[in-house]
Structure 1
Amino acid sequence: EAAIVSEPRIIARLGREIRDRLDPDGAEPKDDTLIQPKRWLDFHETADGVTGTFGLDKETGALLANLLSPLTAPRSSDDGPDLRSRDERYGDAFADILALAARCPDTPTEAGEPVTLLVSATLDQLTTGIGRGLVDGHLSMSAGQIRRMACDAKAAPMVFGTASEVLDVGRTTRTVPRSLRRALIHRDKGCSFPGCDRKAKWSQAHHIVHWSNGGPTTLDNLTLVCQHHHRVVHHSNWKIRMTNGIPWYIPPPHIDPEQQPRRNTLHAFHTWLKADHATAPGPMVLAS
């Protein structure tokens, strides 16, 4: 009767329901441990980066959704509401997840090396942030972006001859060792940019005086910033000043003509109390 007046998809649904009512136990379940979940990833490089598509099984898809969820909320700032589209917010959240995975000590190796990007740039380009370098030998990237990457990474200096032959390769050094990062987490609790609620695991170590400019890798020259605010600090006129062991941010004149110092008070109340007993680097206004 239904087949006379209904679409094929409705008939199929009715057929499944009849089958399930007649045989509620269904077929004998298979051993799920022997079934390889269907997952795939297809991506390729473009002039602007990487693009691609992917598919995940239900379990892995739920894991990805849970990882993305706390990172995709709109993020307002002093410049106004978050103007990123939904896709852009999810793209930024995915980048945060990749950065977190790259910092994991259990990251798999390739040919004995952990996850590594080979960046080629001259010392002058790295110091001034002007010019361009190559990532993995072919992907062009601005020197400013390369300098931001060098904030919390391994660096291996290479000396080249006049014919571009490698004359010497220095030892790689981790600019921010794990013990120092733990001290940063204890002090900053998360991204130290004013008003940001990103937790420490989603934050990177930033050299206040750039490492490429000779800034020391010490607690009073480091602070935690999330990936978004790491770009803001490197590519805008925001400045950071350390006072009594607390990072204060000096906004650019177009945000605050008086450039009153600001700090993050969201992560830990005892950090706030400690700061209020210290001498602030100038007049400030705290918003509730």
Structure 2
Amino acid sequence: MSEREPGPAERAALERARVGELARRREGYTRLEQVAELDRSAVAEVTGDRSTERLLEELWRISAAEARRLVAESRDLCPRRSLLGEALAPRLPCTATVAASGEIGPAHIAIIRTTMRRLDRVEGLPAPAWADAEQTLADEATRWGPRGLQAVADRLLAHLDPDGDEPPEEARSRDDELLFSHRRDGTLLFRGRMGDPVDGEAFLEVIDGLATRCGPEDQRELARRRVDGLKDLVADARSPRGIATDTTGPEGRPEDQSEAPSASIPEPRRGHPAGGAPRVERPGRALLTITIDHRWLREALGERGGFGLLDSGARVHPATARRWACDAAVIPVVLGSRSEPLDVGRAQRTAGDAIRRALDLRDGGCAFPGCDRRPRRCQAHHVDHWLDGGETALDNMCLLCSFHHQLVHHGHWTIRMIDGRPWFTPPWIIDPGRRPRPGGRPRVPT
């Protein structure tokens, strides 16, 4: 996101787009009201069509699938009449209200209708519980995009109609290769081949699953999202219980020590005996030493102001160093005015197991509104940065995936903790009113 504030012409364009979308959504509901009127009046019988759906196909020259959807939505969201001619409220009254106002779009409506049809089949579900579920979905649809609303719907269904997942099938492998080459500038090039189509499908499923967009503000191209997903996969493998750390031989010695990388992977800080505390989901941590002037680090000055140095001599922007310092095993060697080390690390900079476990439970993954990244793909972010005196405590931290972690550090989004929950305030370019949005796990009001 650009650091420049939008000018008058850009603000006007944004407002036209916002108002235009509201108008289109309201027009969509007006269209449903027209369908409902045709359906209630049984016009199809007069015209000789078999049904209202068939009438719409001819009248508006639309597909049969779209005609069926419009009729079904109109019967759920528009006022009805009883067999005696009495006026009845819509089957989904709360959804109808927010749809008529333009606050939700077709994707929201589809999720709510699908969820409510599922609840229709739950035996013994009390009518008040069904109505409360519909109201909850309608309310949450005005706060979340389709992805966030789907998470709310899933939690509702898990509570009212729990259902299990099918176990994944085992994969096979054969005749594969992965080749690497380094450029002088440190760039890594690689290419590979998977001969077994089943392995190929499994690989694509994982990588493309990791490459989904983090939300509407994520404008990365697919190729970039795929390589970022691969980085997340590698980071998870390097975690204390990841597959990359399981390298001990039959006698307990590390295998092939002569080829071990120079950058070490931190050992687990403590082990849990059988039946002890559950596993804490956290990403792998890089162990890096960054040498940087204290003033540059605190003020996050740009390239002209200063930079940090890795052991390799590569330069690191101060803002990047601040982001890494949130939840990585980074050792910040901070230098004073005479280049003497002022501080080498700090004991409570990163979240301990207890805090991390609480973050996993509270946020359920990336806390950014609408993001569904799981806890193990997230980093613990200090709301008030540790480098600025912020405490490493649950009420000053939240989970963020790598993309949204960068967005918060380098963009105009701000975070505040309200009642123990992170709230995200977007920049004006996203919301002129800068209304805070609830973050963390989508919650079902109780």
TM-score for both structures, normalised by structure 1: 0.68
State the SS of the aligned residue for 2:187: strand
Kindly indicate whether residue 390 of structure 2 is the aligned counterpart of residue 218 of structure 1. no
Residue 97 of structure 1 corresponds to 233
One-letter code aligned to 1:113 = S
Structure 1 match to 2:298: 127
Secondary structure of 1:255's aligned partner: coil
CA shift in 2, pair 1:88/1:124, >3 Å: same
Q: Per the alignment, do residues 183 and 169 of structure 1 end up closer, same or farther by CA in structure 2, a change over 3 Å counting?
A: closer
Distance 1:252 1:216, change over 3 A: same
Question: Matches of 1:229 and 1:102 in 2, distance apart?
Answer: 21
> Does 1:44 pair with 2:182?
yes
After superposition, where does 1:57-72 map in structure 2 within 5 Å?
Answer: 57-58=194-195, 64-72=203-211
- Say if 1:140 and 1:61 are closer, same or farther in 2 by CA, change over 3 A: farther
- For residue 242 of structure 1, report the CA deviation from its aligned partner: 0.6
Deviations 1:132-170 (A, max 9, x none): 112233121211011101100224354769996879856
> Retained in 1: the 8 A contact 2:291–2:309?
yes
Shift of residue 184, structure 1, vs aligned partner: 0.3
Contact preservation (8 Å) 1:155, 1:174: no
Task: Check the 8 A contact 1:203/1:226 in 2, yes or no.
Answer: yes
For residues 165 and 242 of structure 1, the distance between their equivalents in structure 2, rounded to whole angstroms, comes to 36
Inter-partner Cα distance in structure 1 for 2:315 and 2:263: 26
How many residue pairs get matched? 233
Partner of residue 88 from structure 1, selected from 224, 228, 232 = 224
Cα gap change, 1:45/1:235 in structure 2, threshold over 3 Å: closer, same or farther? farther
Deviations 1:104-152 (A, max 9, x none): 4455475793152222212212211113112233121211011101100
CA contact under 8 A between 2:424 and 2:437: conserved in structure 1?
yes
| Aligned counterparts, 1:221-260, within 5 A | 221-260=396-435
Runs of 5+ consecutive residues of structure 2 not aligned to the other structure: 1-172, 246-259, 266-285
1:192 aligns with 2:367: yes
Write the distance in 2 (CA, Å) between the matches of 1:132 and 1:112.
21
- The answer as to whether partners of 2:297 and 2:322 remain within 8 angstroms in 1 is yes
Q: Is the 8 A contact 1:158 1:167 kept in 2?
A: yes
2:438 aligns to what? Answer: 263
Pair 202,220 (structure 1): closer, same or farther in 2 beyond 3 Å: same
Say which is worse superposed, 209-218 or 93-102, in terms of deviation. Answer: 93-102
> 2: CA distance between counterparts of 1:160 and 1:194?
37
1:38 CA displacement = 4.7
Q: Partner of 1:156: helix, strand, or coil?
A: strand
**Structure possessing the higher radius of gyration over alpha carbons:** 2
2:258 paired with 1:113:
no
**Superposed displacement of residue 199, structure 1:** 1.7
**% of aligned pairs identical?**
36
Contact 2:377–2:401 at 8 Å: present in 1 too? yes
**How many angstroms does 1:243 deviate by?**
0.8
Name the structure 1 match of 2:248. none
Is the 8 Å Cα contact of residues 119 and 137 (structure 1) preserved in structure 2?
no
Distance 1:218 1:250 in 2: 21
Q: Which amino acid aligns with 1:52?
A: L
CA shift, 1:225, in A, is 1.0
Task: Determine if contact 2:365/2:400 at 8 Å carries over to the other structure.
Answer: yes
Compute the displacement of 1:84 (Å): 2.9
Please give the TM-score of this superposition, normalised by the length of structure 2: 0.46
> How far has the Cα of 1:189 moved from its partner?
0.5
**Which one has a larger percent helix, Structure 1 or Structure 2?**
2
- Amino acid aligned to 2:321: I
Match of 2:445 among 248, 273, 280: 273
Match status 1:181 vs 2:321? no
Coordinate RMSD, CA, aligned: 3.3
In the aligned structure 1, how far is the partner of 2:343 from the partner of 2:363? 38
Between the aligned partners of 2:343 and 2:324, the Cα distance in structure 1 is 23
Shift of 1:237: 1.1
Closer/same/farther in 2, CA of residues 61 and 45 from structure 1, 3 Å limit: farther
Query: Quick one: distance in 1 between partners of 2:384 and 2:311?
Result: 27
Inter-partner Cα distance in structure 1 for 2:324 and 2:439: 23
How many Å apart are 1:97 and its aligned residue?
1.8
Residue matched to 1:32: none
